[in-house]
Amino acid sequence: MPANIGISVSKDNENQMLALPANYVDAVREAGGVPWLLPTFAPGSVDEELVGLYVDRLDGLLLSGGPDLAPRYFGEEPHRDLGQVSPERDAIELLLARAALERDLPVLAICRGIQVLNVAAGGTLYQDVSSQVEGAIQHRQLAPRWHASHGVVVDNDSHVGRIFRTRESCLMVNSFHHQAVREPAPGFVISARSADDVVEAIEGTEHSFAIGVQWHPEMMVEHSTAMLAPFRALVAAAGRYHRRDDASC
Ligand code: MN
C-alpha cells in the first residue's frame, strides 16, 4: 500500500540550510509510510504550478513545526510579541495546504502546521497566547521534549477523538507553542482544548482527513506509543487516497 508522505521543512537562514527534526521522518516510517522532504525555495520563486508538481506525487502531507506565521496572512499587523517568522516557509506551506485541501489529500498538521492549515483555509491565530489569552497556562514547556506537560480535553465524537481513543476525554500532551488557532477556518471545527480554552486540535468537516494538533506527537513517540496513532491514521488515509487515485484511472 504506497503512502508517500511529503513533509515540509525549515529554512535555516544563517547557514543557508534546510532542516527537519528527524523524529518526523522516523514517526512516518514507523507508521508504515514513505517520507519525502519538501524543500523551501527562494522568496518569489514558488507558485501553484510548482507546488502541484509535488502534491501530484504525494498520498499525504505532513506540515511540520517551526517558527511563527506572518500575521499579514490573516489580516493583522505584527503583535509586539510575535516571534521569528519564515517567509520561505509561509510561501510554500500555505500553497501546499491549499492544494491538499482542494484535492482532499490527507493532511496532518503539527504545531506551526495547525496554524498554517487554519490560515490557509481562512482562519485566524493568536500571535502570542501568553499576552492575548487571559489566564493562559504555560504552553512553552521547559521540560524535556517528550514530557506531557498539560492536559487537553478531546471531543470523543471527533476524528481526533477517534484517532487517540481517549477514555475520560483527557489527553496529556507536550507544548512548545506561543501562537494558537483563534477562529477556526470555515469548514473546520475545534476537536481539543486545553484548560485555558486554547485550541489544541482542529479538523476539517468537509475533508476525509484534515487534522491539526498543537502539540508534538512525534517528540512523544519514544515514550508513548499512543502518540504514533496520528501518523498511523495519516498513513492509512494516504493509502485510501492512493487507491482512490488508481480507481479513477
Ligand atoms: Mn499547548
At 172, the amino acid letter reads M
Q: Dihedral sign, CA of 73, 130, 62, 188?
A: negative
Distance (Å) from CA 236 to ligand 1 centroid: 26
Query: Which residues carry out catalysis?
Result: 111, 216, 218
Instruction: For the full predicted model, state whether its pTM sits above 0.85.
Output: yes
Q: Report how far apart, in Å, the C-alpha atoms of 10 and of each of 20, 93, 130, 245, 249 are.
A: 6, 10, 25, 30, 35
Distance (Å) from CA 176 to ligand 1 centroid: 7
**pLDDT tens readout for residues 42-93:** 888 999 999 999 999 999 999 999 999 999 999 999 999 999 999 999 999 9
Distance (Å) from CA 244 to ligand 1 centroid: 35
Pairing of strands 180-181, 125-126: antiparallel
**DSSP state at residue 193:** E
**DSSP state at residue 213:** E
Distance (Å) from CA 187 to ligand 1 centroid: 23
**pLDDT tens readout for residues 183-217:** 999 999 999 999 999 999 999 999 999 999 999 99
What residues form DSSP beta bridges with 183?
none
Q: Dihedral sign, CA of 98, 204, 9, 244?
A: negative
For the record, the C-alpha cell of 225 comes out as 506509543
Domains and CATH numbers, the chain: 4-247 (3.40.50.880)
> End-to-end CA distance of the chain, in Å?
17
